[in-house]
């Protein structure tokens, strides 16, 4: 495990409007008062929520598979009252309808039993609750990511264009990614469908 690795890798990337992917998620739940961060890591997103211009949610909760990550999150001054726990997203330790917002930054694509995760998120969200996620594109792939995208695609497609988050990343890298994909041999295995660390 490498605690806080996602924050170190992602916190400084910006979209065209100057916000990080963490800030985009924070802004997606600006009207929510009870927010769960699924795969909370070291608590950066929760800290941004605690300091948001609209005021801190009355309930902030974070869950991470790693015990080290919630321990790091507890060190953040803005999270003294947050409910931070290690645990599995497939079996959320929260009551039905506890939250009106659920966020996940670069975590859902790494989870197994995605149908169970989706069912648990639906269970802990109050009616009309808002889920918002940031997923990586192309790096991890695999069964979990494909299952999540299959389940979520109808929701993404139904969202009004004005509510969609634009793709993240450096626009200057797009031509390089496209040329790399097109130069792959047709008989070579696609890396994007393999878990991290496989060849």
Q: What pLDDT score was predicted for residue 145?
A: 57
Q: What pLDDT score was predicted for residue 148?
A: 63
Residue 84 in contact with residue 16, Cβ under 8 Å?
Answer: no
- Position 167 confidence tier, pLDDT thresholds 50, 70, 90: low
- Position 180 confidence tier, pLDDT thresholds 50, 70, 90: very low
Q: Which residues of 136-169 are buried (b: 16+ CB within 10 A; e: fewer)?
A: beeebbbebbebbeeebeeeeeeeeeeeebeebe
Q: What pLDDT score was predicted for residue 92?
A: 97
Q: What pLDDT score was predicted for residue 137?
A: 61
pLDDT tens per residue, range 72-105: 999 999 999 999 999 999 999 999 999 999 999 8
Q: What pLDDT score was predicted for residue 23?
A: 87
Full set of structural domains in the chain with CATH: 5-193 (3.40.50.150)
**What whole-number percentage of the chain has pLDDT above 90?**
38
Of the listed ranges 8-12, 22-26, 38-42, 192-196, the one predicted with least confidence: 192-196
Please, what is the Cα angle at 156 between 153 and 161, to 5 degrees? Answer: 145
pLDDT tens per residue, range 105-123: 888 878 888 889 999 999 9
CA separation for the pair 69, 63 (Å, rounded): 9
Q: What are phi and psi of 18, to 5 degrees?
A: 90, 0
């Amino acid at each position: 495990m490498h605690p806080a690795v996602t924050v170190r890798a992602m916190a400084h990337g910006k979209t065209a409007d100057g916000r990080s992917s963490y800030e985009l998620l924070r802004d997606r739940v600006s009207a929510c008062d009870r927010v769960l961060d699924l795969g909370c890591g070291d608590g950066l997103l929760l800290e941004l929520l605690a300091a948001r211009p609209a005021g801190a949610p009355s309930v902030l909760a974070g869950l991470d598979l790693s015990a080290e990550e919630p321990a790091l999150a507890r060190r953040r001054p803005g999270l003294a009252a947050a409910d931070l726990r290690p645990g599995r997203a497939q079996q959320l330790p929260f009551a039905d309808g506890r939250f009106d917002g659920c966020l996940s930054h670069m975590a859902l694509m790494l989870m197994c039993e995605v149908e169970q995760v989706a069912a648990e998120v639906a269970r802990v969200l109050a009616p009309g609750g808002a889920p918002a996620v940031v997923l990586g594109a192309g790096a991890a792939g695999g069964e979990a990511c494909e299952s999540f995208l299959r389940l979520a695609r109808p929701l993404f497609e139904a969202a009004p264009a004005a509510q969609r988050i634009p793709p993240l990343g450096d626009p200057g890298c797009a031509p390089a990614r496209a040329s790399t994909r097109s130069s792959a041999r047709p008989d070579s295995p696609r890396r994007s469908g393999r878990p991290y660390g496989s060849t």
